[in-house]
């Protein structure tokens, strides 16, 4: 496998050859480059970095390597150990730290891990900062601390509770109304840290959690990407337990999807749509999602008198556009909720609390809530990359082929047709070209994706 270096962090598979995978040497190399970058941001006597991880099997090994590398640079580490990506982001701000590192490969299978890098606001690095760290790793001189000036590791296991406290204090989180509803909810946390955080949040809101795959041992019971084809256990469990709905999060708890009371998918694209509907009816304003997200968010935003804007794919790009447009909510169609009232990061926990508040206010079943929104259907397919594929040339050819349609090239190529759209882009996190389509029926979306894949294969001579 290839070691992938992007705005989404340093990501690779465990084992294998140095610089081709995420080996211990690579973990140390990029942790040291990050530590060096942190020191370049401000000249001060002491530095502090927050570090946490999801529950994947390699997490403890990678975390020890990363933390002790920072100690060797004279940096104090706040060790959250098992945590969530949004919890680490919140902790950076509350600690007034200089940055943060989350050891997680998000939705990737168990053989993957990654270093996700944060700035002193607890937000993902922009492309410029990310490039500076890559340059330091490859070409820079990294200076380590002398023996009397080594850093220290301070353990702090309180931050999931503190994160939940911050959520409960939000004006739009209606804890009392939620408690009165006596909800029962099934939680699938793919045996990662959502198994710790989500039940704690639900219990704090007076919701009865039914735990499914909530042991944080990193043994993922199914593919950890929260897609319908991976969630048969959750769908069955919701019906069997007569639950009000089901929740699934990815291993680091920044993607959120729901299953309704009938055991049917709410649709991960509609997580953000529903939460935005609730936020906008209470605090009207603008929204942002990435170019691969559903048109349904635009519809809801305009219904409430706001302006919808699309950004390039990648959380940092969504956040940048949200700040630029003063958006009150935003995120990504993969179930990522960004609620700036709490922090600028995808956060399943705040998404759950806002969704429950909406249900308590509307007093309707989850399946009925879903019917409120325009029905769009997406197809998410991919083509594996090989060294022979010239992605840029393929995208240029597709852009030329559809030059008479509405084209956006800020991130790959998005082609907007009257009734549907297709977005083609090289992934930041995997060696693939992503082909996302949306249409008024699943059959149309799948047919459009298959047609485009056929055209790409023709262009590439596959």
Residue 138: give its domain's CATH number: 3.40.120.10
Instruction: Indicate if 174 and 243 belong to the same structural domain.
Output: yes
Cβ contact 385:433 at 8 Å = yes
SS3 34: helix
Instruction: Indicate if 14 and 136 belong to the same structural domain.
Output: yes
- CATH code of residue 395: 3.30.310.50
Instruction: Indicate if 128 and 207 belong to the same structural domain.
Output: no
pLDDT of residue 1: 54
What are φ and ψ of residue 274, in 5° steps? -70, -45
Instruction: Indicate if 95 and 180 belong to the same structural domain.
Output: no
Q: Which pair of structure tokens corresponds to residue 359?
A: 């249900």
- Note if 293 is an active site residue: no
DSSP 312: -
Does the pTM surpass 0.85? The reply is yes
Strands 286-290 and 4-6: unpaired
The beta-strand segments (E) located in 243-376 are: 245-249, 256-259, 286-290, 308-311, 327-332, 336-338
C-alpha distances in Å from residue 7, one per residue of 4, 89, 261, 411: 10, 16, 38, 13
Last-in-domain residue among 346, 371, 396: 371
With the C-alpha atoms ordered 67, 248, 158, 341, is the resulting torsion angle positive or negative?
A: positive
Instruction: Indicate if 142 and 200 belong to the same structural domain.
Output: no
Instruction: Indicate if 139 and 176 belong to the same structural domain.
Output: no
Structural domain total, the chain: 3
Instruction: Indicate if 393 and 253 belong to the same structural domain.
Output: no
Instruction: Indicate if 327 and 221 belong to the same structural domain.
Output: yes
DSSP 149: G
In this structure, the dihedral spanned by the alpha carbons of residues 151, 10, 349 and 365, taken in order and rounded to 10 degrees, is -170
CB atoms near residue 145 (< 10 Å): 15
Last-in-domain residue among 354, 371, 388: 371
**Annotated catalytic residue within 8, 106, 348, 357:** 106
pLDDT of residue 461: 76
What's the half-sphere exposure (Cβ side, CA atoms, 13 Å) at 390? 9
Instruction: Indicate if 363 and 232 belong to the same structural domain.
Output: yes
Helix (H) or strand (E) holding 454: helix 442-460
Instruction: Indicate if 191 and 249 belong to the same structural domain.
Output: yes
* Separation CA 188–CA 213 (nearest Å): 5
Q: What is the pLDDT along the chain (462 residues), one digit of tens a residue?
A: 578 887 668 999 999 999 999 999 999 999 999 999 999 999 999 999 999 999 999 999 999 999 999 999 999 999 999 999 999 999 999 999 999 999 999 989 999 999 999 999 999 999 999 999 999 999 988 999 999 999 999 999 999 999 999 999 999 999 999 999 999 999 999 999 999 999 999 999 999 999 999 999 999 999 998 888 999 999 999 999 999 999 999 999 999 999 999 999 999 899 999 999 999 999 999 999 999 999 999 999 999 999 999 999 889 999 999 999 999 999 998 899 999 999 999 999 999 999 999 999 999 999 999 999 999 999 989 998 887 788 889 999 999 999 999 999 999 999 999 889 999 998 877 778 999 999 999 999 999 999 999 999 998 876
Helix (H) or strand (E) holding 295: none
Last-in-domain residue among 156, 191, 215: 156
Alpha helices in 334-430 (DSSP H): 348-362, 366-370, 391-401
Non-local CB neighbours of 156 within 8 Å, separated by 6+ positions: 78, 79, 80, 91
Instruction: Indicate if 285 and 386 belong to the same structural domain.
Output: no
SS3 426: strand
Instruction: Indicate if 121 and 57 belong to the same structural domain.
Output: yes
Strands 245-249 and 256-259: antiparallel
- Which residue range(s) make up the domain with 397? 377-460
pLDDT of residue 7: 66
* Separation CA 92–CA 99 (nearest Å): 6
């Amino acid at each position: 496998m290839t070691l992938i270096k992007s705005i989404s962090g340093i990501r690779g598979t465990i084992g294998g050859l140095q610089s081709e995978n995420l080996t211990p040497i690579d973990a140390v190399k990029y942790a040291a480059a990050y530590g060096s970058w942190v020191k370049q941001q401000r000249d001060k006597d002491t530095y502090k970095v927050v570090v946490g991880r999801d529950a994947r099997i390699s997490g403890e090994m990678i975390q020890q390597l990363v933390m002790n590398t920072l100690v060797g640079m004279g940096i104090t580490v706040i060790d959250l150990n098992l945590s969530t990506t949004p919890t680490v982001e919140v902790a950076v701000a509350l600690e007034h730290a200089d940055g943060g590192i989350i050891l997680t490969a998000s939705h990737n299978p168990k053989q993957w891990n990654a270093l996700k890098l944060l700035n002193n606001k607890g937000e993902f690095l922009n492309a410029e900062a990310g490039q500076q760290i890559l340059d330091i790793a490859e070409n820079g001189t990294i200076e380590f601390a002398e023996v009397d000036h080594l850093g220290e590791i301070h353990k702090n296991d309180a931050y999931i509770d503190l994160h939940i406290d911050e959520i409960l204090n939000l004006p739009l989180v209606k804890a009392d109304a939620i408690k009165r509803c006596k909800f029962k909810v099934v939680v699938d946390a793919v045996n990662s840290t959502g198994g710790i955080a989500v039940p704690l949040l639900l219990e704090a809101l007076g919701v009865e959690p039914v735990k499914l795959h909530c042991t944080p041992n990193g043994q993922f019971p199914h593919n950890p990407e929260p897609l319908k084809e991976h969630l048969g256990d959750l769908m069955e469990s919701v019906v069997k337990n007569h639950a009000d709905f089901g929740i699934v999060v990815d291993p680091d708890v920044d993607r959120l999807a729901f299953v309704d009371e009938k055991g049917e998918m709410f649709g991960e694209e509609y997580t953000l749509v529903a939460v935005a509907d609730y936020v906008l009816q209470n605090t009207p304003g603008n929204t942002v999602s990435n170019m691969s997200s559903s048109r349904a968010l635009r519809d809801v935003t305009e219904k409430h008198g706001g302006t919808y804007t699309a950004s390039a794919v990648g959380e940092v790009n969504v956040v940048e556009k949200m700040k630029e447009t003063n958006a009150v909510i935003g995120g990504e169609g993969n179930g990522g909720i960004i609620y700036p009232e709490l922090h600028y990061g995808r956060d399943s926990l705040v998404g759950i609390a806002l969704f429950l508040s909406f249900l308590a206010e509307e007093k309707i079943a989850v399946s009925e809530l879903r019917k409120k929104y325009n029905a769009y259907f997406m197809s998410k397919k991919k083509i594996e990359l090989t060294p022979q594929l010239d992605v840029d040339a393929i995208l240029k050819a597709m852009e030329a082929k559809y030059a008479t349609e509405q084209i956006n090239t800020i991130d790959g190529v998005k082609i907007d047709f009257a009734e549907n759209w297709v977005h083609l882009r090289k992934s930041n996190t995997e060696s693939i070209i992503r082909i996302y389509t949306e249409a008024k029926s699943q059959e149309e979306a799948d047919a459009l994706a298959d047609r485009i894949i056929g055209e790409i294969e023709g262009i590439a001579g596959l």
